[in-house]
Amino acid sequence: MKKFECTIKDEVGIHARPAGLLVKEAKKYESKITVTKDGKSAEATKLMALMGLGVKCGETVEVAVEGADEETAYEGIKTFFETNL
């Protein structure tokens, strides 16, 4: 399992559209990708759960990647967070 932390820079946090893009990105990989904030987790492939975390601008989330393609998934998802969120 590989993990990274990321502080959200997007003005409105992980709102609907970026969450949707994240779901699209996460579905590309076999690995299970989990986003955690304050002990609450959501799978990155589940839009409403992800939005349900209510991540705001300036908050930090932990992203965990686990599975067969975790190397490529880790890189892909990390880049996604850095550029889009």
Partner 1 sequence: MLKLSGKVVYKGIVVGPVALLKKDDQQVKRTKITDADAELARLGKAGEQAQAQLQKLYDKAVKEVGEASAAIFEVHQMMLEDDDYLDAIHNMIRTEMVNAEYAVAVTGDNFSEMFANMDDDYMKARAADVKDISNRLVRNLMGQEDVDLTDMEPSIIVADDLSPSETVQMDKKKILAFVTVHGSSNSHTAILARMMNIPALIGVPLNLDEVYTGMKAVVDGLNGEVIFDPSEEICAEAEVRVGEEQEKLKLLQTLKGKDNVTLFGKTIDIYANIGSVSDVGYVLENDAGGIGLFRSEFLYLGRDNFPTEEEQFQAYRQVVQMMAGKKVVIRTLDIGADKQVDYFNLGKEDNPAMGYRAIRICLKQPDIFKTQLRALFRAAMYGNLSIMYPMITSVEEVKKIYEVVAQVRAELDEQQIPYKVPEQGIMIETPAAVMVSDELAEIVDFFSIGTNDLTQYTLAVDRQNAKLDDFYNPHHKAILRMIQMVADNAHKCGKWVGICGELGADLELTEEFLRMGIDELSVAPSMVLKVRKAVREADV
The footprint of partner 1 (CB under 8 A) covers: 11-13, 15-17, 20, 23-24, 45-49, 51-52, 54, 56
- Shortest Cβ 13–partner 1 spacing (Å): 7
The CA distance from 71 to 74, in Å, is 5
| Per-residue tokens: 74 | 């880790």
The CA distance from 76 to 39, in Å, is 24
Element housing 60 (H / E): strand 60-66
**Which CB atom, from 18 or from 76, has the smaller least distance to partner 1?**
18
- In the residue annotation, 15 being an active-site residue is answered as yes
**Which CB atom, from 9 or from 71, has the smaller least distance to partner 1?**
9
